[in-house]
Amino acid sequence: MSKIITVNDYFKNKNKILNHIKKGLVFIYPTDTIYGIGCDATNVRAVSRLREAKKRDKKPFSIIAPSKSWIKRNCVVNNKAKEWLDKLPGKYTLILKLKSNKVIAKNVNLGTGKIGVRIPKKWSALIAKDLNRPIISTSANITGEPFMTSLEDLNPRVKEHIDLIISEGSKKARPSKIIDLTRNKVITTKR
């Protein structure tokens, strides 16, 4: 059964929650766009549980990076990518080549050599920063179904796989814009 807490509850119990995330907690949290499902992106078991919640086994996940310096250290950042990196935090997911797949669990990007990275303009970006490791950033829905904008539209089949929900009321935004920087030209995709 999922425990539902407020943002204030999260900050009051932050250290305890962060320790649970390191141990495999799967959680729903608000971003600057919609609600996302997350877990420690370095924990294979937690990522597997998240894949089961979304019914998504063949598509890579994006992450919230702990910092821009983490992105620069672990991803290929050319001049065009630097321009987009300057726009973070923001409502963008940047698709970048990884320097090494070892910085994330093998079931995050499924060996593609690429990763979608975000830093939302929202307090929830502090989760990854405080952990000093990336967390999964994917919409809180079963793949292909409408995304979650409030507790009322959380799919019960997703909810049964979630340990914690950090509620912030209704969200009125759309998912982040995807900017693919792994090709010779920038590809922008709206979801």
Strands across the sheet containing 114-118 = 3-6, 164-167, 27-30, 35-38, 135-139, 62-64, 114-118, 92-97, 177-180, 187-189
Q: What is the pLDDT of residue 189?
A: 65
Q: What is the pLDDT of residue 158?
A: 93
93 close to 178: Cβ distance less than 8 angstroms: yes
Domains in the chain with CATH codes:
3-189 (3.90.870.10)
Q: What is the pLDDT of residue 128?
A: 98
Model pTM score: 0.93
Render each residue's pLDDT in the chain as its tens digit; 191 residues.
689 999 999 999 999 999 999 999 999 999 998 999 999 999 999 999 999 999 888 899 999 999 999 999 999 999 999 999 999 999 999 999 999 989 999 999 999 999 999 999 999 999 999 999 999 999 999 988 988 989 999 999 999 999 999 999 998 878 889 999 998 666 666 55
> Distance between CA atoms of 88 and 108, rounded to whole angstroms?
22
Quick one: tokens of 50?
């998240």
Give the angle subtended at the CA of 55 by the CAs of 170 and 124, to the nearest 5°: 35
> Distance between CA atoms of 191 and 152, rounded to whole angstroms?
22
Q: What is the pLDDT of residue 144?
A: 86
